[in-house]
Structure 1
Amino acid sequence: MTHTPEDEWLWGWDPTPGIVSVWAEPDGRVTVWRRLPTTGELVRDEGRFRPWLLLSSLEDLAHLGPRLRPEAEGPAPHRITYQELEGPGALRYLVRSEDGRVLTSAVLQGASRRLGRALGHVRELPEDTVLSLPPEEQYLTASGRTYFRGLGFDALHRLQFDLETTGLEPDHDRIFLVALRTPEGQPETLEAHGDSDAAEAELLQRLAARIRACDPDVIENHNLHGFDLPFLAHRAKRLGVPLVLGRDGAPGLRQRPSSRGAALGRGTAGRANDPMRRTRYTLPGRELIDTLDAVLRHDFSARDLPGHGLKAVARHFGLAGPERELIPGPRVHQVFLQDPERVRRYARDDVTEAAGLARLLGGAAFALARMAPRRYERLADAGPATGVIDPLLVRAYLRAGAALPAHEAGDGTPHSGAALHLFATGVAKRVVKADVASMYPSLMRQYRISPKRDRLGALLSLVDRLVEQRLAAKALARDAAPGSAERHTHEALSAAMKLLVNSAYGYLGAAGLTRFSDVHAANEVTRRGREVLWLLCSELAHRGVTLLEADTDGVYFSVPEGWHEADERRVVSEVAALLPPRVQLAFDGRYAAMLSHEPKNYALQPYDGPLVLRGVAFRSSRAEPFGEDFLRRALRCLLAGDLSGVRDAFVETVTALRRRELPTLAVTARVRLTKDAPQYLATRERRRELPYEAVLASGRTQWTPGEHVRVYRAVGGRAGLLPDPETASPGSTAGDPRDYDAEFYARLLRETFAARLVRAMTPEDFATVFAAPEQLSLFASPLAQARPVLTVLLEPGNEAPS
């Protein structure tokens, strides 16, 4: 690897291989665990580093007198040294000490005197006066080291564990079984021998001993930080069991702040103002990875998951086997008392699927840890802008000896929105997708648009190298054998680099949130983007196509009858040649038909393959399954030009509802509870809400804010609650009351789901297709000649809209 300054900004500069975990203390002690790439042997290195802070002024250290000395004189015991960094940045004094506690104490003492009030933490100082990082990040930033050099993902020793509990409230519910999957891939279970405190305590001791014996680099599970670790920590504390899970013994589980933390318990522990909701856990020598983070990151961009729970996601990605044991969560302990082997299978399946999910979706965070100076576990739940790009830029500036700017709120200039054009609605035939690869980062590179305060040009340099090296990673992935560790590593690296590249523009425009934000530069990128998008749309239109939708990701258009794929590719190539050199337009797919409903909401029927649905109008975790099933059937007919088939789908669905042939699960909505019981009960007399009424009607008096439930409207206006299908066997009808309000759901079908097809028909045809089922004989005949319609809303002109 080259060692230009720009490459060091991206990768660091210390070549130490195989780091799998770093644990640093505020007093300057650091332990580094490394797995040697050649042998897989684990090595433990102990050392010291000099903790540091960045300050805007030395005023708060003036009280040290001769104990405050220039860095050039060298470190000495009981001294704090300073180095003035170059350039105009506000944070210009790098201060160091042999012990970080001494350093922060000195700063707080001086700041308390200056402000006339006691300060307990550097976080209480304004952001424009200090930058303080966790000890591990101080060490990695200053040393130029990063995780996983020379290692592939499969070289990590990974362990998964999952708790089975008698309930969700750790104050009185117990852990009765733990499933564990060893780094060698062997699932096993540990069980409490009885239901006493002593039996549970002994189980927790065996779990800790088993983890230490397996000695994993990484511990994984789905919702690990949201449930398993906080529940385990709570029970261990109540039982007086020391949780020695790390590689260094004490301190055991430590808490760390996070934007998404535990939401444990149904009572006050789950309230929005509970600090536990902003807490995660950390251990010396092991990285704690929650696969829910990777799922949320994937679904933020793909929007293709049926839910975020382990069972639903594993089923979606094909990780769940046909014999997968499924038990509704509230019944697990009851089933264990009657059929313990069934629960053992269920728990072993959980950890096996968690391991598969971590490998499938966790590669990007693994690759990011090879670049950014942060612990692997922190990068797994970090946002790409503040969590990855900011640390890279901080390291770059300190490596260059340059002062850093402080966060600025901005001058009030609004951030202009991304370009988006809806040219036509309804059904189009012979549809082509032309993809624009990373338009905004490409424009930043093309026109060298960078933050005003980034005087080193570090952000653009990082984007340049990420783009170049991503192409190399993609090529290496293509050349590697399918399914191999090499392909997985290079694909993960490519995905991580794409994530960072596509975050650069968002970083630029996040006024007040990122260190180098510049809304004026971001608006210039947006302006250029509008020009380019309008240019390519105009050029496509001049070549005889019908534009459907365009945004910064690409353009959908319909081609004339008689065109072949070669014609479609030729048009895209011709227009691509007219765009700025770094803006790449590529042929990305062709489809038999498309329903254009609203911006970013559409349905595509490939020439060969299943229906593709995009946008919340067609895919929503809250939507009732019967409505989505109807939409899929109706859309297939609609896109084939068969309005009679749409009518049949509607009539058959209404009839099935009225005869209650559909299971109750089909009419439920999956909703998230945002209030706890006291909050809801305080307003219940004024406004009753179906989800909470359903929970109360089920006999529950407490629940956790953030919990998802399946609810429906029953006959007589009652509220009903069903178990989530993520824990129900496919096709199961056990416990199905079939007491839903059929007429309510028949109205919902027409007024909500059928309404998403309104732009594809004339008003007369829409009224005919969705007339009451008993009118079928009166209206069947006219539909034989009816066809979907396409309505052009906008024609591109010669000038881009402002």
Structure 2
Amino acid sequence: MANPMEDEWLWGWDPAPGIVSVWAEPDGRAFVWRRTREGGGLVREDVRFRPWLLLSSLDDLTHLGPQLRPEREGPAPRRVTWEELEGPGALRYLVRADDGRALAAAVLHGASRRLGRALGHVRDLDPNTALSMPPEEQYLIASGRTYFRDLRFDELRRLQFDLETTGLDPERDRIFLVALRDPDGGTEVLDARGGGDADEADLLRRLVERIRFHDPDVIENHNLHGFDLPFLARRAKLLDVPLGMGRAGAPGLRQRPASRGAAVGRTPGRSEAMRRARYTVPGRELIDTMDAVLRHDFSARDLPGHGLKVVARHLGIAGPEREYIPGAKVYEVFQKDPERVRRYASDDVKEAAGLAHLLGGAAFALARMAPRRYERLADAGPATGVLDPLLVRAYLRAGAALPAHEEGDGTSHSGAALHLFATGVARHVVKADVASLYPSLMRQYRIGPKRDRLGVLLALVDRLVDQRLAAKAKAKAAPAGSPERHTHEALSAAMKIVVNSAYGYLGAVGLTRFSDVHAANEVTRRGREVLALLCRELARRGVTLLEADTDGVYFAVPEDWRELDERRVVSEVAALLPPRVKLEFDGRYAAMLSHEPKNYALLPYQGPLILRGVAFRSSRAEPFGEDFLRRALTCLLAGDIPGVRDAYVSTVMALRRRQVPTFDVSSRVRLTKTPSQYLAIRERRRELPYEAMLAGGRKDWALGERVRVYRAVGGRAGLLPDPEDDAEGVPGSDARDYDVEYYVRLLKDTFAARLVRALKPEDFATVFDDPGQPSLFAPLLTNARPVLTVVLDPRTVEPAPGEDVSRTSSS
């Protein structure tokens, strides 16, 4: 039976329905927009709340004298009240005032006098002496309200807009076109009516007018915070155009700190890390679909990239008539064929809407639980971004003091269990999934942090696991490729990330308020026991184990087994596990290449090749190599070794004939040195990415900037412009001046090397012999077969020192 208090910890306690946005000011004003049950109309509530802080002591407020009074005496104008929370926690004084700025100023005044130095913000205090949260979170925690009660995802009014610009620098380039998709699904395109400042300013005013006219709850686009909003904000400031995009008040776009977003205050050559920020407006939630894509790929690991067009194609959102134009060519094409660019921009906002629909369910679900703005939960980390607000709300609801961060007693956090049993190619492969093993063990054995005396973390894990399993079941029941399946998969993935973060939360000593490395290590110990039992019992039933970790087990079955036999074995072993640990049949495959732990390729009985791990999928990998790997692996897993040879030879010959586009030999890299840092070491060590920047005339760049580079003839470094758009299949002009033999060597030494465990040494040498210098005595490949090498005996899990348990067989 559900515990009402525990339900409040997860869902809040105020049943106010239909909240679509909350905006709060430090002075205690809060504005709440809700959609009504009757016809979905919009209402705004203007309410007052009392801003609050959590303190470990009242010492920094004693200077207030009689203005400081106990909460039980009731609030009064210009008074600060305090309430002592029960229990042993360090943060035990809840202080409130009518105005949050005055409250913070009073605390900082006392702290500055105590410490003998000036303090500018409550965040400058030791987190073990003060806890401050944004005004919206203060309001939501105090009120027990959450977003979206009684609302479905599709009931929100969502608007997508996308800018087309003459270049990437808002200091000198312009916005010449904006595409919008309104909440009812219609698209429109706004053009600048000329090339001057007045024309661009008029375009921005019309954009703001259309947003206000359609009055969306949510504004979305792909890379909204990384490009569109910072570019728009800068152009509006230069042109003196107010961006009144919100639902209340005069301010336009405001900024808030974030881990991923626009680089604010960027100065070329600065050595310190760039300050990151995101934009926000009253009454609307600004959602970047890039966050949903990154969250999905963190769990699924199946996306070929993160750009809008490549993801839209992968997920089946892109239409057959989709217009493609290289990013660097859009303005040039517009001057010759404006209708083509209008179609292109309209397709962009349609695809952004499609992405939001398929993958946005995760953040939507989190906003129903956690006391944060929807837009903040869209880019929040699962531990400090989701679990922390839930824990704070629960403790304050119970009137309980919060513990301080502890640095621990020196005990190290033991690693997760991971076993590689065999490498090479196996046939007739099954995956058995362990659903959220560590959280399930926390539930089974009631393992939680010792300082969480209310048991909040375990209660949250209980309910979140139930949420995840329900979403996963709905996803499996929905038709393959359907929007329903994608929506439930996104929700399941989000719940999995948050639930699994509970284990990481335990082990994050000094970083999370309820960390407990001893509890985390007990979970790990139990996990190793379960995984060892699972593996031994599967092996006893005649399967060949390939890989096992906390997510599940891959194993190969005898050739004469049917799917019924595979499911029977999984069911038998599942029955031997602790009750809350669920082992499920999760898929069957024609073949698998096991390369390294968590790096493998799967060939389904039907459908495309599946690649997992950085050995096969990496944002830095050259596309020509990944294309070769896909072709070669498809042949390898089908047992066609001559086909692998053909894939290698055709790639080498295409390189030597310069039939491979330059983009396909380039690598996308992140710049981790400033110009001054690189120039200081340049004489001692030259590095391709920075040499490419300098050769391309780029003397200034920002830390964290990603660029696409390649090795050109003569040892030169080459730089490709506009990497994201080129990556989406529409490159511009191409000099093809790359160093051919360097990339031939790279093909063999890096990409072909991923197949070394699948072949006998003599077969590997023959398959990847240089086609320009063939061996006179190379053996024939007609009878060559992939091999599987057992490297760990599942009966022991940890082989005895010096024991040789490997054996090789044809597969």
Instruction: Give the structure-2-normalised TM-score.
Output: 0.94
Match of 1:593 in 2: 591
Larger mean Cα displacement after TM superposition, 714-723 or 32-41? 714-723
From 444, 447, 463, give the equivalent of 1:446.
444
Report the Cα distance in structure 1 between the residues aligned to 2:198 and 2:749, rounded to whole angstroms: 58
Match of 1:285 in 2: 283
Deviations 1:324-358 (A, max 9, x none): 22222223223222322222222222222111111
Contact 1:153 1:485 in 2 (8 A): no
Match of 2:127 in 1: 127
Deviations 1:561-605 (A, max 9, x none): 322222222222221111111111111122222111110111112
1:652–1:495: structure 2 CA closer, same or farther, 3 Å change rule?
closer
Deviation at 1:662, TM superposition (A): 2.6
Report the Cα distance in structure 1 between the residues aligned to 2:463 and 2:77, rounded to whole angstroms: 41
Larger mean Cα displacement after TM superposition, 28-37 or 471-480? 471-480
1:489–1:307: structure 2 CA closer, same or farther, 3 Å change rule?
closer
Report the Cα distance in structure 2 between the residues aligned to 1:301 and 1:484, rounded to whole angstroms: 19
1:749–1:571: structure 2 CA closer, same or farther, 3 Å change rule?
same
1:327–1:104: structure 2 CA closer, same or farther, 3 Å change rule?
same
The residue type equivalent to 2:139 in the other structure is Y
From 645, 648, 651, give the equivalent of 2:649.
651
Match of 1:72 in 2: 72
From 629, 632, 635, give the equivalent of 1:634.
632
1:685–1:165: structure 2 CA closer, same or farther, 3 Å change rule?
farther
Match of 1:570 in 2: 568
Report the Cα distance in structure 2 between the residues aligned to 1:297 and 1:484, rounded to whole angstroms: 19
Report the Cα distance in structure 1 between the residues aligned to 2:474 and 2:588, rounded to whole angstroms: 27
Report the Cα distance in structure 2 between the residues aligned to 1:486 and 1:218, rounded to whole angstroms: 21
Deviation at 1:741, TM superposition (A): 2.2
Contact 1:263 1:706 in 2 (8 A): no
From 736, 739, 748, give the equivalent of 2:737.
739
Query: Any residues of structure 2 matched to 1:691-730 within 5 Å, and which?
Result: 691-723=689-721, 726-728=724-726
Contact 1:535 1:800 in 2 (8 A): no
Report the Cα distance in structure 2 between the residues aligned to 1:728 and 1:494, rounded to whole angstroms: 33
Match of 2:193 in 1: 193
Q: Secondary structure at the match of 1:261?
A: strand
Report the Cα distance in structure 1 between the residues aligned to 2:71 and 2:141, rounded to whole angstroms: 18
Q: Secondary structure at the match of 2:262?
A: coil
The residue type equivalent to 1:431 in the other structure is V
Deviation at 1:760, TM superposition (A): 1.3
Query: Any residues of structure 2 matched to 1:755-774 within 5 Å, and which?
Result: 755-774=753-772
Contact 1:264 1:704 in 2 (8 A): no
Percent identity over the alignment?
A: 78
The residue type equivalent to 1:371 in the other structure is M
Match of 1:341 in 2: 339
Match of 1:536 in 2: 534
Contact 2:429 2:591 in 1 (8 A): yes
Report the Cα distance in structure 1 between the residues aligned to 2:160 and 2:71, rounded to whole angstroms: 46
Contact 2:530 2:577 in 1 (8 A): yes
Larger mean Cα displacement after TM superposition, 16-25 or 345-354? 345-354
Contact 2:422 2:594 in 1 (8 A): yes
Contact 1:231 1:264 in 2 (8 A): no
Query: Any residues of structure 2 matched to 1:386-425 within 5 Å, and which?
Result: 386-425=384-423
Match of 1:46 in 2: 46
Q: Secondary structure at the match of 2:423?
A: strand
Deviations 1:199-252 (A, max 9, x none): 222222222222111111111111111122122222222222222111113222
1:449–1:610: structure 2 CA closer, same or farther, 3 Å change rule?
same
Q: Secondary structure at the match of 1:571?
A: helix
Report the Cα distance in structure 2 between the residues aligned to 1:754 and 1:490, rounded to whole angstroms: 37
Report the Cα distance in structure 2 between the residues aligned to 1:759 and 1:52, rounded to whole angstroms: 60
Report the Cα distance in structure 2 between the residues aligned to 1:556 and 1:693, rounded to whole angstroms: 44
Contact 1:603 1:612 in 2 (8 A): yes
Report the Cα distance in structure 2 between the residues aligned to 1:576 and 1:421, rounded to whole angstroms: 19
Match of 2:369 in 1: 371
Match of 1:674 in 2: 672
Match of 1:457 in 2: 455
Larger mean Cα displacement after TM superposition, 639-648 or 224-233? 639-648
The residue type equivalent to 2:293 in the other structure is V
Deviations 1:366-389 (A, max 9, x none): 110000000001101100110001
Q: Secondary structure at the match of 1:782?
A: coil
Larger mean Cα displacement after TM superposition, 331-340 or 674-683? 674-683
Deviation at 1:797, TM superposition (A): 3.1
Report the Cα distance in structure 2 between the residues aligned to 1:731 and 1:234, rounded to whole angstroms: 30
The residue type equivalent to 1:17 in the other structure is P
Deviation at 1:725, TM superposition (A): 6.7
Deviation at 1:502, TM superposition (A): 2.1
Report the Cα distance in structure 1 between the residues aligned to 2:694 and 2:328, rounded to whole angstroms: 16
Report the Cα distance in structure 2 between the residues aligned to 1:673 and 1:326, rounded to whole angstroms: 28
Report the Cα distance in structure 1 between the residues aligned to 2:84 and 2:13, rounded to whole angstroms: 22
Report the Cα distance in structure 2 between the residues aligned to 1:748 and 1:487, rounded to whole angstroms: 39
Q: Secondary structure at the match of 2:357?
A: helix
Report the Cα distance in structure 2 between the residues aligned to 1:703 and 1:640, rounded to whole angstroms: 46
Match of 2:220 in 1: 220
Q: Secondary structure at the match of 2:407?
A: coil
Larger mean Cα displacement after TM superposition, 669-678 or 581-590? 669-678
Match of 1:268 in 2: 267
The residue type equivalent to 1:143 in the other structure is S
Report the Cα distance in structure 2 between the residues aligned to 1:114 and 1:723, rounded to whole angstroms: 54
Query: Any residues of structure 2 matched to 1:50-129 within 5 Å, and which?
Result: 50-129=50-129
Report the Cα distance in structure 1 between the residues aligned to 2:727 and 2:500, rounded to whole angstroms: 39
The residue type equivalent to 1:181 in the other structure is R
The residue type equivalent to 2:129 in the other structure is T
Deviations 1:146-202 (A, max 9, x none): 001011111111111222222222222222222222112222222222222222222
2:355 equivalent to 1:360: no
Report the Cα distance in structure 2 between the residues aligned to 1:162 and 1:235, rounded to whole angstroms: 15
Contact 1:534 1:800 in 2 (8 A): no
Match of 1:784 in 2: 782
Q: Secondary structure at the match of 1:784?
A: coil
Contact 2:539 2:795 in 1 (8 A): no
Report the Cα distance in structure 1 between the residues aligned to 2:2 and 2:159, rounded to whole angstroms: 35
Deviation at 1:35, TM superposition (A): 0.9
Deviation at 1:554, TM superposition (A): 0.9
Contact 2:358 2:483 in 1 (8 A): no
Match of 2:660 in 1: 662
1:662–1:240: structure 2 CA closer, same or farther, 3 Å change rule?
closer
From 514, 517, 520, give the equivalent of 2:518.
520
Deviations 1:244-265 (A, max 9, x none): 1111132221111112221379
Report the Cα distance in structure 1 between the residues aligned to 2:155 and 2:302, rounded to whole angstroms: 30
The residue type equivalent to 1:191 in the other structure is D
1:731–1:495: structure 2 CA closer, same or farther, 3 Å change rule?
closer
Report the Cα distance in structure 2 between the residues aligned to 1:654 and 1:157, rounded to whole angstroms: 52
Task: Provide the alpha-carbon RMSD of the alignment.
Answer: 2.5
Match of 1:152 in 2: 152
Larger mean Cα displacement after TM superposition, 613-622 or 199-208? 199-208
Deviations 1:763-797 (A, max 9, x none): 22211221221455745653222222211111123
Deviation at 1:513, TM superposition (A): 1.6
Deviations 1:72-122 (A, max 9, x none): 111111221111111100001111111112211211121122222222211
The residue type equivalent to 2:272 in the other structure is N
2:206 equivalent to 1:229: no
1:66–1:605: structure 2 CA closer, same or farther, 3 Å change rule?
same
Q: Secondary structure at the match of 1:268?
A: coil
Match of 2:809 in 1: none
Contact 2:326 2:732 in 1 (8 A): no
